[in-house]
Amino acid sequence: MEDLDITEVAKRSGVPASTLRFYEEKGLITSVGRRGLRRLFAPDVLERLALIALGRAAGFSLEEISLMFASDGRPRIDRRMLAAKAEELDRTLRKLSAMRDGLRHAAACRAPSHMECPTFRRLLRAAASGAIGARRKKAPRAP
């Protein structure tokens, strides 16, 4: 397959040309030349952009994503980094679930005032302490 100009890469990947230029500036992708004023990219840039999109969707920063590629451009994904992000997502999900449940309760609560509802008061205390969705740290395992 022949090289793709920036317009074709943008069209096929759904990534705007301005973002492609930004990714190139950050070293996430590399153009292979120019056709007139347009940057040219090797066809494998589409797979690389898909990996970048997946990383962004999972909540990785561009800096973290850049660490997922070896100097030759091949993916080099650290499994520990993936596991850590999964744990982070679990914490976020717990917090969001607690917040959702609290909002549902507040919307349906039959107490004359939310401030008179014991469940709502408990949620307020948890939110004030930062404990909503927080998970207690486990003791380290013995080697």
In-domain check, residue 104? yes
The verdict on pTM exceeding 0.85 is no
Instruction: Map tokens 């397959």 to a residue.
Output: 1
Residues of the chain with pLDDT under 70: 132-143
- Let me know if 28 is exposed, middle or buried by CB neighbors in 10 A (0-12, 13-18, 19+): buried
d(CA 124, CA 115): 9
For 25, the domain range is: 4-66
Based on the fold, state whether residues 60 and 95 are members of the same structural domain: no
In-domain check, residue 135? no
Quote the number of domains for the chain: 2
pLDDT of residue 21: 96
pLDDT of residue 141: 46
Domain end position, chosen among 23, 38, 66: 66
In-domain check, residue 12? yes
SS3 state of residue 4: strand
pLDDT digits (tens, 9 = 90+) for 11-21: 999 999 999 99
Q: Tell me the β-bridge partners of 75.
A: 69
Based on the fold, state whether residues 46 and 90 are members of the same structural domain: no
In-domain check, residue 73? no
